[in-house]
Amino acid sequence: MSDPIFIGARIYRGSSYGAHHPLSIPRVPTVMDLCRSLDWLQPEQYRTSPCAKPAALIGFHTETYIDALQRAEATQLPDPDHDLGSLSNPVFPEVYRRPATAAGGGLLAADHVRAGGVAYNPGGGTHHGLPDRANGFCYINEPVLTIQRLIAMGLTRIAYVDIDAHHCDGVAVAFQGSDMVQMISVHEDRRWPFTGALDDTAGGAAINIPVPRGFNDTDFDLILNELILPAVARQKPDAIYLQCGADAVTEDPLSRLTLSNRCHVQAVQALRTLAPRLIVSGGGGYNPWSVGRAWSCVWATLAGHEIPDHLPPPASDILRNLRWTRKAKPTEALMTTLLDPPRNGPVSDQVQHVVTTLKTRSHIRAG
């Protein structure tokens, strides 16, 4: 397997959904800065994401919607028919170019792994985007377009694993009933978008794993080893797409889950051996310290770097200089370390019920 690549772009630096939006924070630039500070990101590993052309986006999105998204960027005017200009999906200066760049990164990742390999696109993972409108901070559904590109290459078995705190509703719309794509989503139960119920199989294409508030590292370990890894191994996928949203960690304001970022590292390590091609993306994550730390740990794991117990001062200064409109003060650990301490606990009754139910369900495919 070839060396992993890291896909980024300048457009993420300084681009914001607005001062009071959860995505007012820097995310990809923090990861790039941390990894470069630690000498983890060499020039030959870095790729600049292209901005996907409109024609490349119409494989899932409608032409009318992509036209509307471009028009919204040009005019900076809302378009309620496509949910552009709402509180969740504001019109901002790069409202077309930024998500199109994330999608371009996904297509580049797919091209990179054509013959096998690993690609990391932390700006991607926008799994809520719908064919004809923005949805849940997502304007273009990068995971769907990336998986469609993999299928167009001739791959016939794709495992999509999503550990974001929110269900991948847009991806589920795209691959409902698919016999090529297996979707596995771990997400907080009874949280927006209120899809992905335990009994929702997306026409046999999905394993939905709704988990309760307080979901901890011990719960995650059980689900990873008893559900996710066996299901992926049975599928024998040509490629795995791992959506590595960072909003399931304790510090995130948009979930009530209590994972450490060790779970992200564990998922990357475990899944990497199960297919010749691996694409890893970002996703949710709304605390600037926890998301930057988690996604830097993901890259360290992919690129084979040891995560230090304590950051050297130049890396720590990157975290100390972050600002957040919520005015929450980070702990010293959030500014001086990358890897969280384990957040173990008892396995909840709901998690045990989910595991028992899904292990006996016939739709979990055998390959």
Which one, of 347, 132, 339, 329, lies nearest residue 218 by Cα?
347
Phi, psi of 61 (to 5 degrees): -85, 155
Which one, of 11, 27, 18, lies nearest residue 283 by Cα?
27
Chain centroid to CA 206: how far? 17
Query: Active-site residue among 82, 112, 128, 166?
Result: 128
Determine contact, residues 183/175, Cβ cutoff 8 Å.
Answer: yes
Distance of alpha carbon 289 from alpha carbon 67, whole angstroms: 35
Q: Residue 46 is inside which H or E element, if any?
A: strand 46-48
Strand pairing report for 277-281 and 46-48: unpaired
Distance of alpha carbon 245 from alpha carbon 138, whole angstroms: 13
To the query of whether residue 128 is one of the catalytic residues in this protein, the response is yes
Contacts of 55 (CB under 8 A, 6+ apart): none
* Residues known to be catalytic: 128
